[in-house]
Structure 1
Amino acid sequence: MAHFGISIDASGLNDRLREVVDRKLPYAQRAALNDLATEVRGELVRKMREVFDRPTPYTLNALYLRRATTQQLTAEVGIKDEAYKGTPAAKYLAPQIEGGRRNTKGVENALARRSARAGELLARLGLSGQFVPAAAASLDAYGNVQRGQYSKLLSQLSAQGDAYTNETPISRGRREGKAGAKGRRKRAGPRFFIAGLYRARHLAPGIWVRYPFAHGWAIRPVLLAARSTPQYVQRFPFYETADEVVDTFGDELLRQAIEREFGS
């Protein structure tokens, strides 16, 4: 019986296909990684709004996204560990992610290191060096002590990092005003002081404030010294949230990226 056989040498075609895949696949992978990283970041921000009480814009913007390139096929989502002013987000969010002790704040370090009276209080009573807001603390819309109040108390307690911003007897007198024509002086403003030592040892240890009124003074606590280091339980499931997004969207985003790249 007669027969006719046909064969095709596909070696050239296979080489061409491999060339196309090698050229286009990194672009699809890059797109999928960046889309996935964007999803992860968005879900982490949503989770912060869910687990934290009124998170500040600074906290919500603390997540950075480092995009993948065709040369470096890795996208990264993390928490910023640098800050021009204030505490880096990575420092104060770490206990919320891992659990454990709260890190000391900048104002707490300043009080312990630069205010002789505060340092003596902490050393004598064996306190942790950390403080919690009390009745006279001025809180902002997010529940944090206002920077202005921190600045005033650090200045009056000679605990500012810049010595020129600390209050002096001259600057205090200038603020309270000079005697007028009838010998009257402007009444002094609120005064911050360290309680728990000497004449104020009967008060709870911490930072208190005296308010002047018509016939004397009233005192209230601003920051009370913590007897032990505040401990946090995990509140922000950073890694768990990221893993869930990758598991849910990873394969689909890669499929879409490949279709876009190889369909063009």
Structure 2
Amino acid sequence: MRIEMTGLETMHRVRDKLGEVERRQLPFATAVGLNNIAERIRRGEREVMRQRFDRPTPYTLDALYVRRASKSKLEAEVNIKDSAYKAAPASLWLNAEITGGDRRQKRSEKALGRVGGGKFWTPAPGAVMDGYGNVGRGFLVKVLSALKAHGEQGYMANRSKSKRSQRKARGFDIFVGAPNGEPMGVWQRINSAHGHGLKPLLWMQDQAPTYQVRFPFDKIAANIYRAHAPEEFERAIRLALATARG
């Protein structure tokens, strides 16, 4: 999802009413106005995320970016990052919140699918959660590594060759299945003084989680633009005239 804004209409509308110096400054003023509005939209979108999402992570909040306008290109854009280094892009889950409907598969879900675990997972009671209420990344890596679901390269990258590391991996006895008629999931075998047991870590399913619209990105941006564009362009024109060279 993205919001694009162009300042050509604004520039053409006011050009004939300005003097020579003012006209020379108009492209600069238009670019400044567009960039200020774009930053307002980004701040507003982030605030809505804070209000409507349960403890959104900094990674999610920082997923919004602004492509700034210039005098030679009077277009500004507010968008959501669609790529990330060694991580799933935030657009993977934000788009479902924006448009509703089914969520796309995560990388971890594709990896688990290779060991017969279904297409999607949700946390089970045994999952380790982080401070934002999400399944902890370290826990998930541990699960994938124990199942060797990363593939050999990822598996070795996330586990050292030390005897201690190998011993810990052997102690994390997990499997994918539906034991004794229980739901399909990732289960851990537990040994205690009271005997043996099973603990569910992740529930697995073939049906994608379905989302309701909670973050109407376009509507939020349009409301902010209508409310603040006039004052931002007026402020930008005053700045341009104040800094103009005769």
TM bucket by the smaller chain? 0.7 to 0.9
Give yes or no for contact 2:149–2:155 (8 Å, CA) kept in 1.
Answer: no
* Deviations 1:134-187, CA, capped at 9 Å, x for gaps: 1100010111111111111111212014446259xxx7986576xxxxxxxx9x
Query: SS at the partner of 1:193?
Result: strand
* Deviations 1:40-59, CA, capped at 9 Å, x for gaps: 11001100001100000000
Give yes or no for contact 2:92–2:106 (8 Å, CA) kept in 1.
Answer: no
TM-score, with normalisation over the residues of structure 1?
0.77
Paired position in structure 2 for 1:214:
193
Give yes or no for contact 1:136–1:220 (8 Å, CA) kept in 2.
Answer: yes
Paired position in structure 2 for 1:251:
230
Paired position in structure 2 for 1:34:
35
CA distance in 2, matches of 1:19, 1:99: 50
Structure number with higher strand proportion: 2
Query: SS at the partner of 1:71?
Result: coil
Structure 2 regions of 5+ residues with no counterpart? 1-15
CA distance in 2, matches of 1:67, 1:46: 21
CA distance in 2, matches of 1:151, 1:130: 16
Which one has the largest radius of gyration?
1
* Deviations 1:23-78, CA, capped at 9 Å, x for gaps: 11011111111111111110011000011000000001000111110001111111
**Matching residue's letter, 1:51:** R
Residue 205 of structure 2, aligned match among 226, 249, 253: 226
| Residue 192 (str. 1) matches residue 174 (str. 2) | yes
TM-score, with normalisation over the residues of structure 2?
0.82
- Following superposition, the deviation at residue 97 of structure 1 comes to 0.2
* Deviations 1:81-102, CA, capped at 9 Å, x for gaps: 1100221111211010000101
**Matching residue's letter, 1:91:** L
Query: SS at the partner of 2:207?
Result: coil
Query: SS at the partner of 2:37?
Result: helix
**Matching residue's letter, 2:92:** K
CA distance in 1, matches of 2:44, 2:166: 52
Query: Sequence identity of aligned pairs in percent?
Result: 40
Query: SS at the partner of 2:227?
Result: helix
CA distance in 1, matches of 2:239, 2:230: 14
* Deviations 1:103-135, CA, capped at 9 Å, x for gaps: 11111100112x2xx25xx4xxxxxx1111111
**Matching residue's letter, 1:255:** E
Change (3 A) 1:257 1:173: closer
Query: SS at the partner of 2:171?
Result: coil
Paired position in structure 1 for 2:113:
112
Paired position in structure 2 for 1:155:
145
- Following superposition, the deviation at residue 203 of structure 1 comes to 2.4
CA distance in 2, matches of 1:223, 1:172: 28
- Say what the alpha-carbon RMSD is for the aligned residues: 2.4
Give yes or no for contact 2:146–2:172 (8 Å, CA) kept in 1.
Answer: no
| Residue 203 (str. 1) matches residue 182 (str. 2) | yes
Give yes or no for contact 1:211–1:219 (8 Å, CA) kept in 2.
Answer: yes
- More RCO (CA 8 Å, sep 6+): 2
